[in-house]
Amino acid sequence: MKTSQFESLTGVRGAAEAEGARRATGGSADEAVAAGVSGTAPDPEVSDKPKRRRFTAEYKRKFLKQADACRPGELGALLRREGVYSSSLTAWRAARDRGELVGLSPKKRGPKSVPPDPRDRRIVELEREAQKFKARAERAEALVEVQKKLSEILGIRLPESDDKP
């Protein structure tokens, strides 16, 4: 009977522990793992923020091909081996059946960017232009006031205008 590498390693370790095997340092293999001796086990600490897995379209296509080729009972093993949820498999199959290539690529998360409306740009343009003309009119009114005061000082009589405010 052929066993996988993982099974054979755990079987050997289990047999050695059952017989009371000790390491050269005087502790058992479990104590070395618990103490964090380098080379014995990966760091079991959980990262602060987990990374969301993103599957490429190519990975999804290959996975779907493997899942379709599975015989009854093998699909669960494939899902466990690859670390994929059955709901993801269902969603990928539905997207493939609908013919959506977009469904087979990772989606960008977060708020969607909206292209600027050309009318908004035009509104900003017109507001800027109106502000410019308003400032120009204020300068012209100030200039007329200065001319009126200067004519009063010099004693020059100005003609009366019909369109007084």
pLDDT value, residue 116: 85
- Within-domain flag for 77: yes
- Within-domain flag for 93: yes
Q: What confidence tens digit (pLDDT) does each residue in 103-116 have?
A: 556 667 888 888 88
Whether residues 29 and 62 share a domain: the answer is no
Whether residues 99 and 129 share a domain: the answer is no
Q: Which domain holds residue 85?
A: 57-104
Is the CA virtual torsion 121, 125, 130, 132 positive or negative?
A: positive
Q: SS3 of 8, please?
A: helix
For the chain, residues with pLDDT lower than 70 are: 1-40, 42, 101-107, 162-165
pLDDT value, residue 2: 46
Whether residues 154 and 127 share a domain: the answer is yes
Q: Domain total for the chain?
A: 3
pLDDT value, residue 69: 92
pLDDT value, residue 165: 53
